[in-house]
Structure 1
């Protein structure tokens, strides 16, 4: 059975291994300093970024999820943005991704959020099969303007 808990300082090394796997999957290159800043933000009770880790029956870390909240113009309650979701390739398809999403959904509901939403790459078919089961494809297209830094 998969167990999901909020990230703690003691999860750092397990989180880091999954984080590097996530970045590799998306062919992203972040500095070690940014990685450590991200982990510290997740642990900071004053920050709006949250995280959880999934472990299997043996206690091995098999997945992570990060989310944040923000005010919205279309609702009284905040929106919850699921920013990062990663499940170790060896256990994909076993329900860990769905459990991590459900963890975020339950947290968002408990904290008065109006919705949970996320983005994924169009070609990420494995993840999209899961997303199509647990959420609605809104049809929106993502644009961005990098600002450097």
Structure 2
């Protein structure tokens, strides 16, 4: 399969919003393409995240979104791989790995020490994919959330 991975811009917003909506629905959120589109537009306009898009057959079929963080022990920038999604029709073709590889390359390009991510324990695909891509499971930490 012929594909390319490119850095997203506002020109990609409509297709990206559709993918982002599918991703959110996968995580049991209600579909809301317009609200997701506004969210992504704000991230792009304010340079608050970096998004890479997988393009195959002339259309966007996957993406990953990275947010900048800082690692307290390494005293360096790192990236949070917050979102990774490939449409079901294009899964199993190496696009997730290609998006992760592009994210690793982004670490090199931006002088970051690495990537971190979290996924649900029930995400069987992700929990198999990430170790295959060199991620190490961190069983030493508990992750907590506080929502307003």
TM-score, shorter chain, exceeding 0.5: yes
Q: Specify the alignment match of 1:68 in structure 2.
A: 67
- TM-score normalised to structure 2 length: 0.88
Aligned to 1:71, the other structure's residue is in SS state strand
CA RMSD of aligned residues (A): 1.8
Unaligned runs of 5+ in 1: none
Is 1:129 aligned to residue 128 of structure 2?
A: yes
Q: How does 1:76-115 map to 2 (within 5 A)?
A: 76-115=75-114
Q: Specify the alignment match of 2:21 in structure 1.
A: 20
Q: Specify the alignment match of 1:5 in structure 2.
A: 6
Q: Specify the alignment match of 1:49 in structure 2.
A: 49
The answer to whether the Cα contact below 8 Å between 1:72 and 1:79 also exists between their aligned partners in 2 is yes
Aligned to 2:71, the other structure's residue is in SS state coil
CA positional deviation for 1:33: 6.2
The answer to whether the Cα contact below 8 Å between 1:82 and 1:118 also exists between their aligned partners in 2 is yes
- TM-score normalised to structure 1 length: 0.88
CA positional deviation for 1:101: 0.8
Aligned length: 145
